[in-house]
Structure 1
Amino acid sequence: MKTFGGPVLFLDRSDINTDEIIPAKYLTEITKQDLQPYILEDLKLEGFDPKGEKLKHARVVVSRANFGCGSSREHAPWVFEVNDITCVVAESFARIFRQNMFNCGMAAIELPKADLDQIFSHAADADAAMSIDIAAQTLTVSGGGKQQTFSFELSPFDKALVMAGGWVDYADTKY
C-alpha cells in the first residue's frame, strides 16, 4: 500500500480538467515516468507555478468541485502517481478520474464544501501537511500551529482497491 499524506498543494478552483493536469500533447509518451515533468503544466491559477517548489514537494492536492473533469484518460492519475502525489481531496470528482485514482491505488477523497473551506484556511501556512488514514477513513490537516481531523467515506470496494495498491494488485489477491 502506498503512503498517504505529506505536504499539501492547494489549488483553490473548481473544474480543474485533465488537460490542465497533463496536457494532451504528452499522451504519446511511452512510460508513466516520461509524464513526470509535465504535471499541471497548463493550469492557470493565480499564484501557481507548475515548476515551483510547492508542487515538487507536494504529496496531497486539495481542490474544489468537479476535479478531473474533461477527457477520460488514465494519464491524469498517472502523472500524480509518478510525482509521489497519492491523494487528491476535493468536493467532487469527475467519475472516470475518480475511479482511475482508485484503480491506481491512490485516494480520491470527497469532503463537503464546509470541511474544504476549513482545510483551505491552512493554504497560507508554509508548513501545511496532511496525514490520511485510509483504514480509519480520517484525514488530519495541520499547519500554523493548528490541527483538524475530518472523516470521509469510501465504498468498501474503493477502499479495498486503495489498500491493495490498485486494481492489478487487488485482482492478484482475489482471482
Structure 2
Amino acid sequence: MRVCNKTVDYAFRKAVQGFDIEGKVSTLLLPNDEGFDEETLGGLRRVSSIAPPVFLVYCCADLFRLMVDDMFNELSESLLEDLRMLVGWGKCSFANWNVWLAHLQQAVDMKLEDAFSKDEVYDEYDKPSDEEWVKIETFSRLVGCRNLVIILGPQVFNK
C-alpha cells in the first residue's frame, strides 16, 4: 500500500470525512517497512483537505522489531556457527526466534558462569570476542524483553 496511490488517498479522505473527524486527525501511525516516509506522506497531504496538517509517527513495536532484526543481522553466520559448536546445540532455523533466544541465552549463561575457561574441552573451540559477546548479550536481552511484553502484555493491559 502506498500513500501516494490515489485510491488509498481517496479511501483515507472518505473515511475521515465519513466519521466527521477532519479537524481532529493530526497523526498517522504507519508501519515502518511499507515505504512510508515524509516524501510519500506528502502525497496524502497534497490531496487531503484535512486540517491541521498530518504528521507521520512510527509504531514503537515496529521500531523495536527493527532493532532486534538489526541486532540479529550483526551476528555473523560464522559467529553463530562457532557458538553452535561451542555450546553444542543442533541446527537452528533462522525463522524461530524462541529457539535462537534459548540457545544464545544458554551461551551467555555459560559465559557468565565462566564455563568456557574452567573446562579444557572448550579450549579447542573458537570463542566470540568481547565485542561479539556484547552483541550476543544485547540481542538476548532485546528478544527476552520482547517475549516478556508478549507474555505479560495482555495481563497488564486488560485490567
Range class of TM-score, shorter chain: under 0.3
Query: Relative to total residues, which structure has the larger helix share, 1 or 2?
Result: 2
TM-score (normalised: structure 1): 0.22
Higher relative contact order (Cα pairs below 8 Å, separated by 6+ residues): 1
Larger Rg: 2
